[in-house]
Structure 1
């Protein structure tokens, strides 16, 4: 089977999703605080990187966190945040933001070894 046949005979892949426990929040709240993360499309990653904004990691988190809904009005009010980006910065530590951002990038195919050279014999 050639590559075209393989690609045509299978369904296009959907963005990968995984769940991650936020250790500090889980410890403090004595309950598992789990975020469901999803991989981002090439266009979404490009849009975020082209924002010319120092908060790239925050925007990757906002785009890649499927649950909890970081745009939830009640959550924004609870943390006295005007925007979802402000909520992320108030709710999470800088290191947590970076770790979540990196996990989303991995789900999006970044920060991993995604190709392998075929050596001819």
Structure 2
């Protein structure tokens, strides 16, 4: 069966973005929290990446990694970071400020990586790198 035949057998109404609850032990809060996360639409993902790149005379001057990670987390966990009640409770005027208040760098990385995996990016495996080297 070729790709066209396979695609035509899929119920188009059942297509949905991958989702997963990510559990993190947040050191600032002193407790484990479960974040409902989802994959990010490819177009939105590209916009986030483009927004983190600073160009000067046509060349990349710098990549703002914090901006890219924060916007990815906001897009991937909107139920938490775009929630007006949560922002108000933590006195955070913006979703990015809420991230600053709740997450440490490593915790941001864990959420960012989980959302990337949901969005179709495989996590690098040291084992795979070793196989390639040999």
State if a TM-score over 0.5 links the two structures: yes
* Structure 1: runs of 5 or more not aligned: 114-121
1:20-99 correspondence runs (5 A) = 20-24=22-26, 28-29=30-31, 32-52=32-52, 54=64, 55-68=67-80, 70-99=81-110
Cα deviation for residue 80 of structure 1 reads 2.1
* Structure 2: runs of 5 or more not aligned: 54-63, 125-134
| TM-score (ref. length: structure 1) | 0.79
SS in structure 1 at match of 2:88? helix
| Contact 1:35 1:66 (8 Å CA) reproduced | no
In 2: Cα distance, 1:72 partner to 1:66 partner: 7
Cα deviation for residue 66 of structure 1 reads 4.4
Count of aligned positions: 110
In 2: Cα distance, 1:19 partner to 1:71 partner: 17
- The structure that is helix-richer by fraction is 2
| Contact 2:20 2:36 (8 Å CA) reproduced | yes
Cα deviation for residue 79 of structure 1 reads 2.0
In 2: Cα distance, 1:7 partner to 1:102 partner: 29
Cα deviation for residue 37 of structure 1 reads 0.7
Match of 2:17 in 1: 15
Match of 2:131 in 1: none
| TM-score (ref. length: structure 2) | 0.72
